[in-house]
């Protein structure tokens, strides 16, 4: 499965593609800088955006597809270098999404983000960072430090252990929300459960309230690693959605005394029996999200995850 649609909302605001002919019309709108095949080059779009007299007031920005000539190995430098060079024009940027790209633009596993360390470091005021990337060119965040970042979302169809290592080595003392998409082995996932140990042992990110280990083809094993981990003693919500969790994993949740204390448990996109759904609902009430039951889907035997390629 792949991502079919662009973000419609971001930071609870409507998202629109930036039109250089119209400029920044409404600061209650989040603008997405993106091109399309044989359309205006992303460099022109970015420069027009940065030349707008209202750009200094912008707090949110989404970077979409950056390659107008269709070459899949082109990275985001065409736009990130421009934003980096003119970073002083974005003094209020606090919410950033890099890679709002759908499958008809580029398959997720082909998105080459590469070294974005200088770009990310140039916006230390960010409180929300969301990155969507593939496995062909591993993510490079460098020595990622931020006093302000509260939300970090890393979306991938196949998480390389090098990327996980960088995420877990980041110095983010005020991080409250961490969401990591694990993906599938066929699309770059090569971590083992022990690679998650520093996170699950609870020694990282002292202000963490929400943990998401999502979109995994080994969601049952991930659940087993999480249910009795020390991290569960101090987070308020747990996200195991988008994966292929079955009754085996759900039973682990039911058997864990720590789960009921959560304020929210997200199991959206699951393979649970009606009986197990009832049991979890009886335990958690409206604190559990059991949307998108895939157990009766015609492809249920393969137990696919939401996003891989």
Which of 109, 141, 173 is at the close of a domain? 141
Tell me: do 97 and 164 sit in the same domain: no
At residue 71, the pLDDT reads 57
The verdict on 119 and 252 lying in the same domain is no
pLDDT at 297: 82
In this structure, are 155 and 134 located in the same domain?
Answer: no
Check residue 112 and give its pLDDT: 79
Spatial separation of the C-alpha atoms in residues 139 and 165, rounded to whole Å:
10
User: Which pLDDT does position 91 carry in this prediction?
Assistant: 97
| Same domain (yes/no): 128, 164 | no
The residues pairing with 213 across neighbouring beta strands, listed in sequence order, are 180
Task: Mark the ranges of the chain whose per-residue pLDDT is less than 50.
Answer: none
Residue 29 contacts by C-beta under 8 Å, 6 or more apart in sequence? 13, 14, 15, 16
**Residue after which a domain boundary falls, among 96, 117, 141:** 141
- Its domain, for residue 253, covers 143-309
The residue whose two tokens read 């916006």 is 123
Does residue 250 sit in the same domain as residue 293?
yes
**200 and 158, same structural domain?**
yes
Rounded distance between C-alpha atoms, residue 267 and residue 253, angstroms: 11
Which of the listed residues 80, 110, 141 is the one where a domain comes to its end? 141
Q: What is the C-alpha separation between 98 and 92, in angstroms, rounded?
A: 17
Same domain membership, residue 155 and residue 112:
no
Residue 243 sits in a domain whose CATH number is: 3.80.10.10
pLDDT score at 98 = 95
Asked if 121 and 96 touch (Cβ cutoff 8 Å), the reply is: no
Q: Could you tell me if 175 and 288 lie in one domain?
A: yes
pTM of the model: 0.95
Query: For position 202, what pLDDT does the model report?
Result: 94
Residues 137 and 147 in one domain: no
Q: Do 124 and 35 reside in the same domain of the chain?
A: yes
Give 65-112 pLDDT, tens digit per residue. Answer: 988 665 555 578 889 999 999 999 999 999 999 999 998 888 887 887
Question: How many domains would you assign to the chain?
Answer: 2
């Amino acid at each position: 499965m792949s991502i079919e649609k662009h973000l419609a909302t971001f930071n609870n605001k409507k998202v629109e593609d930036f039109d250089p002919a119209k400029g920044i019309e409404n600061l209650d709108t989040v603008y997405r800088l993106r091109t399309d095949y044989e359309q205006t080059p992303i460099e022109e779009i970015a420069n027009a955006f940065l030349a707008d007299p209202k750009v200094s007031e912008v707090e949110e920005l989404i970077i979409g597809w950056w390659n107008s000539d269709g070459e899949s190995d082109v990275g985001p430098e065409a736009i990130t270098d421009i934003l980096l060079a003119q970073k002083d024009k974005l003094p209020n940027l606090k919410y950033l999404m890099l890679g709002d790209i759908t499958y008809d633009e580029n398959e997720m596993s082909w998105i080459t983000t590469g070294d974005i360390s200088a770009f990310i470091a140039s916006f230390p005021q960010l409180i929300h960072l969301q990155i969507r990337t593939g496995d062909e060119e591993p993510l490079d965040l460098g020595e990622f430090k931020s006093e302000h970042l509260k939300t970090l979302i890393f979306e991938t169809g196949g998480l390389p252990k090098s990327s996980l290592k960088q995420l877990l080595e980041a110095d983010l003392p005020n991080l409250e929300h961490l969401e990591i998409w694990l993906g599938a082995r066929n699309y770059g996932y090569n971590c083992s459960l022990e690679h998650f140990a520093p996170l699950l042992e609870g020694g990282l990110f002292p202000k963490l309230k929400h943990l998401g280990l999502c979109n995994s083809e080994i969601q049952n094993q991930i659940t087993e690693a999480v249910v009795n981990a020390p991290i569960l003693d101090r987070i308020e919500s747990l996200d195991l959605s988008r994966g292929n969790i079955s009754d085996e994993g759900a039973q682990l949740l039911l058997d864990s005394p720590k789960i009921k204390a959560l304020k929210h448990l997200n199991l959206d996109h699951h393979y649970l029996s009606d009986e197990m759904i009832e049991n979890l609902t009886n335990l958690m009430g409206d604190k559990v999200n059991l949307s998108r039951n895939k157990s009766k889907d015609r492809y249920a035997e393969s137990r696919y995850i939401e996003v891989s390629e």
